Amino acid sequence: MLEPGTPWPTCEGFPLSLLAVLDTDALAPWLGDLLPAQTGLLNFFYLDSDSEQCDPAVYELALKFDTSDPQVGRVIAARSAHAVETNPPVRSSVFTPVAWAASPGFAFPDTWDPAWRTLDLGPEADDRARAMPDLYIEELLTDWSERPGALDSEDIAFGRPEFPTGSSPVGAFPRAEDPNDYHHLLQLSGYGPYGWGLGGDDGWMHWSIPTEALQAGDFSRAIATPDIW
C-alpha cells in the first residue's frame, strides 16, 4: 500500500519483498504521541533469499550483505487517504495475505533485551543477578509470571522484541549505537500461516528505528534486526 509515485524499494536493483503492512491509525489510541498524527500505513520490506517463493538469483546478492544491513530491509510510510494497492515487481516474492486484529497489552523485556542494562539492581545484587537480571527480578516478584495484561503473541507491534536465540539486537545497529536509543516497530514470527522463512531452520523478523526518527516520522532510518536460527 504505497502512495502513487513511490518507488518499490530495491537492494542493488533487486526488488525487496513485502512482508507486512501495519495501520498505525488503528493503533493510535495506544500509541499516544509516539509518532506523528496521521502517519497512516507502514509497509515492511526485506530481501527474501530463503522462502520457497524467492528468486534463485537473489542468493548470490544476499551473501554480500549482513542480515541487518540497511539495504536489505526497508520501512515505507504511506498516508492512508493516499495509499493505493501496488503490484509487486517481477522477482519480488508474493505471500498469501493474512489479516491481523490488534489487541493491546504490555510487552516486557525478554532475557536478552538491552533495556536490562539500564536497571539499577542495587548493592545487594550479586554477579549472577547482574548477569541475568530478568531472572533476579522474577525471584523478587513472586507473581511475575502472572503479570496482568502481558502480551502472549509472536507478532507484536510497538512493543518489546523477543529474541529466542538470545542474540538480541545488540550489535545489529549501525556504528555501535546504543540499542536503547532505538524503538521496536514490528516483530513478525516465522513460518506459521505466513508461508515465508528466514535463514537456517526458521527465524523471526524485526524492524527497529531510532526513537527520535520515529517521532519525526522519518522511516528511512528504520532497519531490519532479524533473529535467525
- What is the SS3 assignment for the chain? CECCCCCCCEECCEECEEEEEEEHHHHHHHHCCCCCCCCCEEEEEECCCCCCCCCCCHHHHHCCCCCCCCCCEEEEEECCCCCECCCCCCCCCCCCCCCCCCCCCECCCCCCCHHHHHCCCCCCCCHHHHHCHHHHHHHHCCCHHHCCCECCCCCEECCCCCCCCCCCCCCCCHHHCCHHHEEEEEEECCCCCCCCCCCCCCEEEEEEEEHHHHHHCCHHHCEECCEEC
Q: How many residues does the chain have?
A: 229
pLDDT above 70 (res 199) = no
Query: Which has more confidence, 157 or 161?
Result: 157
Hey, which residues does 28 pair with through a beta bridge? none
The winner for highest mean pLDDT among 9-18, 146-155, 203-212 is: 9-18
Mean pLDDT value of segment 32-54 = 88
Q: Which residue has the cell 544476499?
A: 62
Which pLDDT score, from 0 to 100, does residue 133 have?
Answer: 86
Instruction: Let me know if residue 123 belongs to a domain.
Output: no
Between 73 and 193, the higher pLDDT residue? 73
pLDDT given for residue 198 in this prediction: 60
Grid coordinates representing 92 are 519480488
The answer to whether residue 56 is domain-embedded is yes
195 has pLDDT over 80: no
Q: Is 114 left (phi over 0), alpha (psi -120 to 50) or beta?
A: alpha
Domain that includes residue 61, residue range: 10-108+147-228
Exposure string (b/e) for 66-79, b if CB count within 10 Å is 16 or more?
Answer: ebbbebbbbbbbbe
Q: Is residue 80 part of a domain?
A: yes
In-domain check, residue 223:
yes
Greater model confidence, 118 or 19: 19
**Mean pLDDT, residues 51-72:** 86
Residue 47 in domain: yes
Do residues 2 and 83 lie in contact, with contact meaning Cβ atoms separated by under 8 Å?
yes
Q: Average pLDDT of the chain?
A: 84
Q: How confident is the model at residue 68 (pLDDT cuts 50, 70, 90)?
A: confident
pLDDT surpasses 60 at 185: yes
Do the domain assignments include residue 55? yes
Q: pLDDT of 82-127, one tens digit each?
A: 999 999 999 999 988 888 888 888 888 777 777 787 888 888 889 9
pTM of the model: 0.86
The more confident residue out of 198 and 83 is 83
pLDDT for position 7: 96
Confidence of residue 196 (pLDDT cuts 50, 70, 90): low
Q: Is residue 86 part of a domain?
A: yes
- Sign of the torsion angle spanned by Cα atoms 172, 174, 175, 181: negative
> Do residues 203 and 226 touch, judged by C-beta distance below 8 A?
yes
On the question of pLDDT at 76 being above 90, the answer is yes
pLDDT of residue 229: 64
Domain count, the chain: 1
Q: Is residue 34 part of a domain?
A: yes
